Amino acid sequence: MRPGRWLGIAMLGAGITAFAGQKAQTQTKAQQGETGQQGVPPPAEQEAMRNFLAIGAPPDAEAAKRGQAVFVSTCGFCHGSDATGGATGPDLVRSLVVLHDQGTGKEIGPVVHNGRPGKGMPAFTNLTDAQVHDIAQFLLGRTQAAANRMSYKIQNIVTGDPKAGEAYFSAHCASCHSATGDLAHVATKFEPVKLQSRFLYPKSGGSDESGPADPREQKTVTVTLSSGQTYSGKLNRMDDFSVAMTDAEGQHHSWIFEDEKGINVQVNDPLAKHEELLKQYSDAEMHNILAYLETLK
């Protein structure tokens, strides 16, 4: 190994050792009651870690709070409430555009205002530059939290009224879900944060660490040709130019709209109701629903 590489490794090791020593001293002070809020590193330690990771200054707290509210209502269904990916949109915490933006809104602004039609993202021309800047500040906080995991602290989110949540569930959710059927013991299967994410932003046609997606989440399609012949089955793909599906016998079918004049396509998305409700939930209603679901042990 070249001497320069040894020197670089030695310097990195020294930096880690120095930071570890500072952290140990801070922890000693914490045991003596000098740190402030329980479970949160004191400002000096937070600043030291930020400098060590070279992640820059934190976002403006008020701007990030405003940006989170706009992001959840406008972008959350596709990208997830925490920007780590949702029903159809990618993880923005790992996005190079977001990383290069650095909370300014200059990089993400054109994407937000113009959309990406080729990738299914609509244009949000109604958002002001100020709102885009606030969203950028929220995303900056998310990327910094991912880099600096020492600062991550999950708060207690089960703060709603379970009775009010049960009433809302009965009125809006019981036609598809049952507390004694598909949701029986759901609170024992997921932590509160994960449970809230699943009812706000269910993913379709994929799987995650909890196992394969519920088959009821799968989009289906009925295609009627100009001859009157119909095909029904699982929707595989659909864009502005074509549609592809698999029928009950496992046969694959696809059509190009330009070649099939008079074709009629009807898509059934079982998760459309979730997207509709997401635009209607008040903050209290979301907490109430979670509180009710937490009673299903």
Per-residue confidence band for 14, with pLDDT thresholds at 50, 70 and 90: very low
Mean pLDDT of the chain, nearest integer: 79
- Rounded Cα gap, residues 43 and 21, in angstroms: 16
Q: How confident is the model at residue 151 (pLDDT cuts 50, 70, 90)?
A: low
How far apart CA 66 and CA 170 sit, in angstroms, is 31
pLDDT tens digits for 73-92? Answer: 888 878 888 888 876 788 89
- The predicted structure's pLDDT at residue 203: 63
Question: Does pLDDT of 171 surpass 80?
Answer: yes
Categorize the per-residue pLDDT at 120 as very low, low, confident or very high, splitting at 50, 70 and 90. Answer: confident
Q: Which pLDDT value is given to residue 207? A: 40
> Percentage of the chain surpassing pLDDT 90?
41
Write down the pLDDT at residue 226: 92
- Number of Cβ within 10 Å of residue 110's Cβ equals 12
Predicted TM-score of the model (pTM): 0.45
Q: What is the dihedral of CA 97, 150, 12, 20, to 10 degrees?
A: 170
Q: Tens of pLDDT along 226-278?
A: 999 999 999 999 998 999 999 999 999 999 999 998 999 999 988 888 888 88
Average pLDDT over residues 213-224: 83
Take residue 295 and report the two structure tokens written for it: 């009673």
In the predicted structure, residue 297 carries a pLDDT above the cut 80: yes
Radius of gyration of the chain (CA): 24
For 61-151, the fitting CATH number among 1.10.760.10, 3.40.50.880, 3.30.420.40, 1.25.40.10 is: 1.10.760.10
d(CA 289, CA 192): 11
Residue type, position 246, single letter: T
Distance CA 96, CA 63 (A): 21
Q: What is the band of 124 on the pLDDT scale with cuts at 50, 70, 90?
A: very high
Question: Quick one: average pLDDT of 91-98?
Answer: 87
Query: What integer is the mean pLDDT of 18-36?
Result: 40
Q: What is the pLDDT at residue 87?
A: 67
pLDDT at 8 over 60: no
Q: What is the CATH number of domain 162-215+273-293?
A: 1.10.760
- Per residue in 177-196, pLDDT tens? 999 999 999 999 988 888 88
